[in-house]
Amino acid sequence: MNDCPFCQIIAGRAPCRKVYEDEQTLAFLDLYPISRGHCLVIPKRHIPLITDIEPQDNIAGPFFRTCYLVARKIKNAFNCEYITMLIRGTRVPHLHMLIIPTIKGEENLLDKTLNLHHFCQIRLQPQFTAAELDAIAEKIRNAQP
């Protein structure tokens, strides 16, 4: 996909600060990092969303393996408390995992946002009844992958 910025990086037509690469994936520093070491992991094949990977494709395994390896590399490179991973693919329509470290002694906006989310989540009224939650779980169990 020619106008995709991540495909441009994979093709070598746009720069990136590469931290890891293998046959199927590439990891590089985010241009607008939320924290020190914030990286993106992308598959080399243009795939818009994680749900666009077919179960028979050999992409999800290598993709998540690279996410794990890069998270470990970041953890070992910095004084990391923990790593947060988020998948979207909406702003840039090429599947990407955001790998965002929380470094000891350094605040980041994502942690503040997630702490606020958790604060609200545990104080809000339950959104679903127990019967509704049972039905939701059953519907997911019975759906095709």
Q: Residue 54 Cβ, how far from Zn ion at the closest point, in Å?
A: 17
Shorter beta-carbon distance to Zn ion: residue 11 or 135? 11
Q: Residue 103 Cβ, how far from Zn ion at the closest point, in Å?
A: 30
Q: CA 90 to CA 144: how far, in whole Å?
A: 24
Q: CA 111 to CA 108: how far, in whole Å?
A: 6
Sheet containing 18-21: give its strands across. Answer: 18-21, 25-29, 39-43, 97-103, 80-87
Q: Residue 66 Cβ, how far from Zn ion at the closest point, in Å?
A: 16
Choosing from 38, 96, 117, 118, which is the catalytic residue? 96
Shorter beta-carbon distance to Zn ion: residue 38 or 94? 94
Is 96 catalytic? The answer is yes
**Cβ-closest residue to Zn ion?**
4
Shorter beta-carbon distance to Zn ion: residue 11 or 77? 11
Contact residues for Zn ion (CB under 5 A)? 1, 4, 6-7, 46, 94
Partner residues linked to 102 by β-bridges: 82
64 burial via Cβ count (<10 Å: 0-12, 13-18, 19+): middle
- Kindly list the catalytic residues: 96
